[in-house]
Every structure is written in structure tokens, then in C-alpha cells.
Amino acid sequence: MRCGFDVNGTHDVTFVDARKTAKIFTLAETFLAKEDTQAAELRTVYTDDIRALVAQSGAALDLKSSGEVQRVQSSEEVKALDEQSVELVQKIHRMLVYEFGDTPAKAVEWGFDIKQTGKRSGTILVPTGRAAIVAVLDRYAKTEQARPAAEQFTSPALAEVVAVVEGLKQNLGARGTGQSQRASGTQQTLDAAAKLLDWLQAAAIQIVLKQFGGKVTPGLAEWGFEVTAKSKPAKKAVEAAPVEGEG
């Protein structure tokens, strides 16, 4: 956005795009660094507000960053655990098919569904999708934990099944929390940047009016603002008037 109050001047000031939050915060830091070199009476009426908002924005930026880190880390853990859960449920399925070949309905106790109709009626079904797989593994683990240790299946190890189920639950929760924190931090950052931009624009106008006599000059760049020379309009060719008697 260009500052247009100095329409007859030789320079323009272009403000940061409101969507470029990082550049707005950088501009604010440069602005404050310059203001700190100014005598108190020369500082703008917006300087203290800008300083306070920059300080407050640090928490929002930290929230956004930490949320993203947590989301990425948890997503990687979930991806690995998803693969492990598929392998586990397939291994358990093969084992139950072997154990209950003649009485497949018993597999229901360990969380598996049984096909009820059709040619393959009575078949122990393999769950698909994360929610279904986690539900089956969770039920399998609880059923095994309720049985005497001597009767529990030895493969896969019960501890491994429990670890995968708990790992998925925890990391899915952590990923959701990370996503929420990132979204909250992002919105807080956008709100702060928008307010900062308003104050920085107002501060620039005050500086131009009080320190530069109402004219945008290159000196304004010391506060971090982008100042450029105006392009001169092209001169129009003047058509020569015909001399009397010619023609």
C-alpha cells in the first residue's frame, strides 16, 4: 500500500503487504530500533504501543512454532505406528484363524468381526482403517490381560500390542493438540500483525508531518519503511502551430 498524503512530493512510501506477517514484525523491530535513538519528544505517540504489541506477539509466535513442531513429530510417530498396527493385526488374524479354524465365532472375544452371510460366512474378517484396527487391538489387549498368563497367546507379545495402542492414542492426541496450537498461534499472529501495520502506518505519517515537513523523504527509510523516488511523467510532444501563409 502506498502512502498518498504527499501527492506533490518526489518520493513515495510503500507499506508492507498485510499478508506478510514476518515482514511486518521485521519492520516493527527496525522502527523500534530507530525510535530508541530518538529523543523522547521526537518519538511517535504509537511507539510505546508498538513496543508492547511486539513483546506480546512473541508468545503467539512461540505457540505457533511449538504447535507445528509437536504436530510434525506426532505425525511421524503416528505414521510409523500405523504401519506397525497393520502388521500386528494381520499377525493376530492369522493366529486366530489357526486357533479357531473350526469355531471362528470365538474370535469375537478378541474384537474381530465375523462374516455373517454369503459363501464365506463364518470367516474372521481383517479390520481396515486406523479406527477399526486400533479398536480391535485394544479389545485384543484387554481380553488377553484378563486371561491367566499361562493361557495368553505368545505371539505377538502382549506388551507390543499395548505399546502400539497406547502410542497411537497418545500421538493422535498430541497431533491434534499441536494442530490446535498452531492454528491459535497463527490467528493471534495475524491479528497482532494487522494491528501493528495500522500503528506503523500512523507512525510513519506522524514522522513525515513532524520531522520532514509533510514531505516523504529518503530519511523515512531509517525507520525501516520502503521509500522510492516517484517516476516522472513522460512529456507530451507539443504539435507545432502552422505558420500563417503556409499550406
40, pLDDT greater than 60:
yes
Which residues, at least 6 apart from 72, have a Cβ–Cβ distance to it below 8 Å?
178
Task: Enumerate the β-bridge partners of residue 227.
Answer: 13
- Total count of residues recorded for the chain: 247
Q: Please report the pLDDT score of residue 6 as a whole number.
A: 58
Give residue limits of the domains in the chain: 11-229
Q: Which of 145, 102, 146 is nearest to 124 (CA)?
A: 102
Cell of 184: 491459535
12, pLDDT greater than 60:
yes
SS3 228: strand
Q: Which amino acid is at 183?
A: A
Distance, in Å, from the CA atom of 136 to the CA atom of 120, rounded to the nearest integer, reads 21
Q: What is the pLDDT of residues 156-184, one digit of tens each?
A: 999 999 999 999 999 999 889 989 988 98
Task: Enumerate the β-bridge partners of residue 114.
Answer: 124
**Is the whole model's pTM more than 0.75, yes or no?**
no
SS3 115: coil
Cell of 111: 474384537
Span 61-87, average pLDDT: 90
Distance, in Å, from the CA atom of 105 to the CA atom of 72, rounded to the nearest integer, reads 41
247, pLDDT greater than 50:
no
| DSSP-derived secondary structure letter, 2 | B
Distance, in Å, from the CA atom of 26 to the CA atom of 230, rounded to the nearest integer, reads 25
Class of domain 11-229: mainly alpha
| DSSP-derived secondary structure letter, 129 | S
CA 203 to chain centre: 30
194 — alpha (psi -120 to 50), left (phi > 0) or beta? alpha
- Helix residue ranges per DSSP H, 36-114: 47-99
